[in-house]
Amino acid sequence: MAWYPGAVKMELQPESDAQAAIRPTQFIVHSIVAPWTARRTYEYWRDSTNLESHFGIGYAGDIAQYIGTETRADANAGANRRGDGTGAVSIETASNTKASDAWTPEQIEQLVLLGAWLHRHHGIPLRICRSHDDPGFGYHSMFRQWSTSGTACPGNARIRQFREVVFPAIVARATDTVQGDDMPDYINLGAQPYELRPGMWDSIEFTSEWADEPGQHADDGAVWARGPARFTGTISLAIEDLPTGAVLQVRMAEFDGNTYVHGHPIHEVIGTSGRTYAVIPLTKRIGAGRRMRVRLCSQAADPITITSAVLTALIWKES
Ligand SMILES: [Zn+2]
């Protein structure tokens, strides 16, 4: 039983508990031949008939769900629940009493949002059904098996809208959302000035957390990326007391839990007169369980001061 978060839940009983489960593979749209709000449609299902659709939508874009999408509803005859347990999710949409008018922009927007959710949540494929039992999107009169005695539902104007506007928009919206999920998280961490002794590799401890969208960095920790993930960014360093010509080595260090497993290639920062500044790229993919730090090793004779270390990165978490 699944409830669409974008709809107002108006659960129909006893149908919601009593009717058989389905695995939803289709989405079929209807016109209800009445200018009803989603609530009025609910009252009709509840009070005047034992039939129902999963969803209802008013002219103003008000949308309600009456039956979970993994329970059979009765709007599509043979598509309600087939012998293999698959079935169609149905929506009734407010129309005039001849079912001859077009959907309003508000109705179209809600149909598109719901269609994209059904694709994401139930894996209904982004295509128009090619046969009565083919997974995909359709409208009531598309196949004879979907009605008891034939129908023109949802009407010619809406059939045209379904093909030219609604279904293409569902595809676009569902695809957009996939890209949205690929948006990287942003992290921006800094370190307090600290002294670095020569001749040993030491991890930068990040004490300032200006941004850590993915929650990769623990407070006052050296770890800034946790696998599985891929990332790209920079570490910016300002260094004091690094003699002219002396070398500070910088590398990404990969840990498995707290165990050091791999040092990535070394970048060398050469001391200049006055403070020394460097911006070093960080791009890599790390596997599950791996954690990334940045380590420094000074080749100078005496301790130096890391006056500033700022890490800025985009991180794509993998699942
Ligand atoms: Zn219909």
Cα-to-centroid distance, 84 and ligand 1 (Å): 23
Q: Is the peptide bond before 303 cis (omega within 30 degrees of 0)?
A: no
DSSP 234-280: EEEEEEES--TT-EEEEEEEEEETTEEEEEPPPEEEEP-SSSEEEEE
Residues 21, 74: one domain?
yes
Find the CATH number of the domain harbouring 100.
3.40.80.10
* Ligand 1: centre distance to CA 150 (Å): 10
Q: Is residue 131 part of a domain?
A: yes
For residues 117 and 165, state if they share a domain.
Answer: yes
Ligand 1 ion: Cβ-proximal residues, 5 Å cutoff: 30, 140, 153
Q: Do 54 and 102 share a domain, yes or no?
A: yes
d(CA 33, CA 290): 59
Question: Ligand 1 centre from 173 Cα, in Å?
Answer: 25
273: helix, coil or strand? coil
Answer for the pair 275, 239: CB distance below 8 angstroms, yes or no. Answer: yes
Q: Smallest Cα–Cα separation from 85: which of 133, 125, 136?
A: 133
Same domain, 157 and 239: no
> For residue 243, how far is its CA from the centre of ligand 1 (angstroms)?
81
Residue type at 210 in one-letter notation: W
Task: Tell me the whole-structure pTM to 2 decimals.
Answer: 0.58
Residue type, 184: P
Q: What spacing in Å lies between the alpha carbon of 92 and ligand 1's midpoint?
A: 7
CATH number at residue 263: 2.60.120.40
- Whether residue 223 sits in one domain with residue 141: no
Q: Does the CA dihedral 13-15-19-25 come out positive or negative?
A: negative
Residue that is last in its domain, among 159, 181, 203:
181
Domain limit, last residue, from 136, 161, 181: 181
Q: How far is the CA of 40 from the centre of ligand 1 (A)?
A: 17
Measured in Å, residue 140 CA sits from the centre of ligand 1 at 5
Residue 190 C-alpha to ligand 1 middle, in angstroms? 60
Residues 170 and 247 in one domain: no
The domain total for the chain is 2
68-108 residue pLDDT tens? 999 999 999 999 999 999 999 999 999 999 999 999 999 99
Both 283 and 251 in one domain: the answer is: yes
* 19 C-alpha to ligand 1 centroid (Å): 20
Based on the domain organization, do 160 and 213 belong to the same domain? no
Model confidence at 157, pLDDT cuts 50, 70, 90, reads very high
Residues of the domain holding 44: 8-181
At 181, the pLDDT band (50, 70, 90 cuts) reads: low
Question: How far is the centre of ligand 1, averaged over its atoms, from the C-alpha of 103 (Å)?
Answer: 14
User: What is the C-alpha separation between 217 and 129, in angstroms, rounded?
Assistant: 47
170 within some domain: yes
Whether residue 177 has pLDDT greater than 60:
no
Which has more pLDDT, 209 or 186? 186
Provide φ and ψ at 316, rounded to 5°. Answer: -105, 110
- The span from the CA of 313 to the CA of 191, in Å, is 15
Å from CA of 77 to ligand 1 middle: 10
* Same domain membership, residue 197 and residue 228: yes
Last residue of a domain, one of 181, 210, 230: 181
The reply to whether 3 falls in a domain is no
Do 22 and 143 share a domain, yes or no? yes
Report yes or no on 25 lying in a domain.
yes
* Pairwise CA distance, residues 62 & 268, whole Å: 62
Which residues neighbour 211 within 8 Å (Cβ) at sequence distance 6 or greater?
Answer: 186, 187, 188
- Two tokens at 228? 């599985």
Helices then strands, each counted (H, E), the chain:
5, 18
Residue 44, in any domain of the structure:
yes
Do 169 and 205 lie in a common domain? no
Token pair belonging to 293: 């730090």
The answer on 209 and 89 residing in a single domain is: no
